[in-house]
Amino acid sequence: MSQPSAPTGDHHVDVDVVVVGAGFAGLAMLRELRDVRGMSVRVLEAGDDVGGVWFWNRYPGARCDVDSTDYSYTFSPELDAEWDWSERYATQPEILRYVRHVAEKFDLYRDVSLGSRVTTADWDEATGHWDVVCENGLTARGRYLVMATGCLSAVKRPELDGIEDFAGQVLHTADWPAEPVDLTGRRVGVIGTGSSGIQVIPAIAPSVEQLVVFQRTPTFSVPARHQVLTDADRAALRAELPQRRELLRNSPTGLSVPITRRSALDDDEETRRRHYEEQWASAGFGFLLAYNDLLVNKASNDTAADFIRGKIAERVPDPELAEKLTPRTYPYGAKRPCVDTGFYETFNRPNVTLVDISESPLAKVTATSLHTTTTEYELDVIVFATGFDAMTGSLLRPTITGRDGETLREHWRSGPLTYLGLATAGFPNMFIVAGPGSPSLLGNVMVSIEQHVDWISELLTRSAAEGTPTIEAAPDAEAEWVVRVNAAAAPTLYMEAASYYLGAEVPGKPRVFMPYAGGLRRYRRECDEVAQAGYRGFTRTA
């Protein structure tokens, strides 16, 4: 534990608001509620430091894939003025330094209990409070409970027969050891080629003796176009910061990418190719916004998907290998797209092998090897880059019990039910930051986080002033919002991939589209209208 924190252990705190999670969302909530709204707050954090996913995901090559300037807090001009990002996409250590800097600068550590993983939270109807219990014995009571536990934080470890017998090291990208892991000269197997896999694979390939990549579904990835920022770059970014922030706030994605009104089908083939080449050369994640209909029109999407497939063939000269790496079964962007630095090229190295486990699935692990149904691979290290139980995992792992003894797991047994993604009926005074039913994962999550923090804080402040501190989403408002979330997703190509947006990442998870696909701008408008209408859809009582 590198920073001072509120004492942990077997004791109790009584506050206005209990916040769960000290990542970007939890810390923003703490600062806003405590320093701006004057409430008492305790943040309960499972990790030994602040940072959330940026604390745990310490794997080699981990960095943000949204421009650092856009993946920053916007509440403090002083913070902006004193913090300089060193690279276009900050590395995990630099992001963690930033979060710690924020926690120190705004004196947040004193209200964070580290090493305190929440196991239960119970609504006490008689007193109108939440009682929260942590694994380490700490208990907390608050009028409000804010779950800031992240959409991609509940680590997914697929069951693999015999894994406990493996004599080598087993690692997960999202739970990477804090102490250095030396992979030099070792035989390493990586399972998974999502955003984490495509970062760790090129990062470790040059130093390991042998790298075997077990790929179930090929990935669409475009070059990140990563760059180290010079003083001149930073000066330019600083100068454009106000306009850039305005663009973020008003965009559907929270990205500072100019919005085009052009369909991919508006351009002839040559113009379209030129446009894609330009985007390919610089856009990174923004490639998905090269035209305005890539996520809603299959014919348009095909033009982008074909362009990327062509690039994979250029990047990987061996046609058989290139074909194995080429996604063909779902539209580009329907699963969360990746940006990479040298991912496909890594497979051209003599020490890297691609194993297509859609053809021959993983079968078992023995003391020395990982076996597919056809082949044995002798390994020293197995790295799971298999992602998360997305969106609902971190909310359902603790047992949260609301009104009448109903647990959140029971309430959400057919999929998450929320009003605006912020609250759920039967769970009074509980709020969720960047949860299911909000745009969160479908754009720059930092923009969602700040919007949620502001909106929830204003609701709590106004309810206190009006003498109605008990706030609950009405069941009909919740039901109507769920219909709206489904309706926003229905016409999109998101519905055509077995993605974590749809709950396909965990066997048995309800298959419902979880984030709100109507865009951040529209969502912000919806939330503002609800507030202006006296928080329509919420029951507020004394």
Instruction: Determine which residue in the list 197, 415, 437, 537 makes contact with ligand N01, applying CB under 6 A.
Output: 197
Instruction: Determine which residue in the list 505, 512, 513, 524 makes contact with ligand N01, applying CB under 6 A.
Output: 505
Instruction: Determine which residue in the list 51, 52, 61, 194 makes contact with ligand N01, applying CB under 6 A.
Output: 194
Q: Rounded to whole angstroms, how far apart are CA atoms 134 and 9?
A: 9
Instruction: Determine which residue in the list 191, 325, 395, 453 makes contact with ligand N01, applying CB under 6 A.
Output: 191
What the block records as the tokens of 542 is 């004394």
Question: Distance of alpha carbon 395 from its chain centroid, rounded?
Answer: 14
- For ligand N01, the nearest residue by Cβ is 194
Is 192 a binding residue for ligand N01 by CB under 6 A? The answer is: yes
Is 162 a binding residue for ligand N01 by CB under 6 A? The answer is: no
Shortest distance (Å) from residue 155 CB to ligand N01: 9
Strand-pair partners of 539: 472
| Positions 379 through 438 that interact with ligand N01 (CB under 6 A) | 385-388
Identity of the residue, 390 or 488, whose beta carbon is nearer to ligand N01 in the bound complex = 390
Is 341 a binding residue for ligand N01 by CB under 6 A? The answer is: no
Which range of residues in 23-31, 187-195, 424-432, 488-496 is near ligand N01 by CB under 6 A?
A: 187-195
Which range of residues in 193-201, 204-212, 326-334, 533-541 is near ligand N01 by CB under 6 A?
A: 193-201
Tokens 């603790």 sit at which residue?
398
Is 500 a binding residue for ligand N01 by CB under 6 A? The answer is: yes
Identity of the residue, 63 or 324, whose beta carbon is nearer to ligand N01 in the bound complex = 63
Is 171 a binding residue for ligand N01 by CB under 6 A? The answer is: no
Instruction: Determine which residue in the list 58, 186, 272, 336 makes contact with ligand N01, applying CB under 6 A.
Output: 336
Is 217 a binding residue for ligand N01 by CB under 6 A? The answer is: yes
Q: Does residue 292 contact residue 266 with C-beta atoms inside 8 Å?
A: no
Instruction: Determine which residue in the list 196, 279, 301, 457 makes contact with ligand N01, applying CB under 6 A.
Output: 196
Instruction: Determine which residue in the list 25, 41, 102, 152 makes contact with ligand N01, applying CB under 6 A.
Output: 152
Shortest distance (Å) from residue 338 CB to ligand N01: 7
∠ CA 453-455-459, rounded to 5°: 115
Tokens 């650092």 sit at which residue?
68
Which range of residues in 76-84, 120-128, 188-196, 374-382 is near ligand N01 by CB under 6 A?
A: 188-196
* Stretch (H or E) spanning 383: strand 381-384
Shortest distance (Å) from residue 533 CB to ligand N01: 33
Identity of the residue, 69 or 195, whose beta carbon is nearer to ligand N01 in the bound complex = 195
| Positions 90 through 149 that interact with ligand N01 (CB under 6 A) | none
Is 494 a binding residue for ligand N01 by CB under 6 A? The answer is: no
Is 218 a binding residue for ligand N01 by CB under 6 A? The answer is: no
Identity of the residue, 386 or 448, whose beta carbon is nearer to ligand N01 in the bound complex = 386
* Stretch (H or E) spanning 455: helix 445-465
Backbone angles phi, psi at 165, to 5 degrees: -90, -10
Q: How many residues bind ligand N01 (CB under 6 A)?
A: 25
Which range of residues in 185-193, 235-243, 347-355, 371-379 is near ligand N01 by CB under 6 A?
A: 185-193
Residues 434-463: x where in contact with ligand N01 by CB under 6 A, - otherwise, as a string = ------------------------------
Residues 45-64: x where in contact with ligand N01 by CB under 6 A, - otherwise, as a string = ------------------xx
Identity of the residue, 238 or 371, whose beta carbon is nearer to ligand N01 in the bound complex = 371
Is 193 a binding residue for ligand N01 by CB under 6 A? The answer is: yes
CA-closest candidate to residue 439, choices 251, 287, 180:
251
Identity of the residue, 392 or 457, whose beta carbon is nearer to ligand N01 in the bound complex = 392
How many residues appear in the chain?
A: 542
* Stretch (H or E) spanning 376: strand 376-378
Q: Rounded to whole angstroms, how far apart are CA atoms 36 and 294?
A: 41
Q: Helix, strand, coil proportions of the chain in percent (round to 5)? A: 35, 20, 45
Shortest distance (Å) from residue 70 CB to ligand N01: 12
Residue 359 makes CB contacts below 8 A (sequence gap 6+) with none
Could you give the C-alpha distances from 74 to 27, 102, 184, 340, 449, in angstroms and in order?
Answer: 13, 12, 40, 27, 11
CA-closest candidate to residue 122, choices 408, 395, 394, 392:
408
Identity of the residue, 334 or 385, whose beta carbon is nearer to ligand N01 in the bound complex = 385
- Amino acid at the residue 20: V
Instruction: Determine which residue in the list 74, 87, 158, 247 makes contact with ligand N01, applying CB under 6 A.
Output: 158
Shortest distance (Å) from residue 211 CB to ligand N01: 16
Instruction: Determine which residue in the list 97, 216, 273, 484 makes contact with ligand N01, applying CB under 6 A.
Output: 216
Secondary structure of residue 282 in the 3-state scheme: helix
What the block records as the tokens of 413 is 């047994």
* Beta-strand relationship, 118-124 and 399-401: parallel
Residue 380 has a CB neighbour count (10 Å cut-off) of 18
Strand-pair partners of 371: 364, 376
CA-closest candidate to residue 249, choices 43, 525, 538, 456:
525
Q: Rounded to whole angstroms, how far apart are CA atoms 427 and 388?
A: 25
Q: Rounded to whole angstroms, how far apart are CA atoms 125 and 310?
A: 60
H and E: helices and strands count for the chain: 15, 20
- The side-by-side arrangement of strands in the sheet containing 369-372 is 362-365, 369-372, 376-378
Identity of the residue, 173 or 297, whose beta carbon is nearer to ligand N01 in the bound complex = 173
Q: Rounded to whole angstroms, how far apart are CA atoms 456 and 25?
A: 12
Binding-site ranges for ligand N01 (CB under 6 A): 63-65, 152, 158, 173, 191-197, 199, 216-217, 336, 357, 362, 385-388, 500, 505
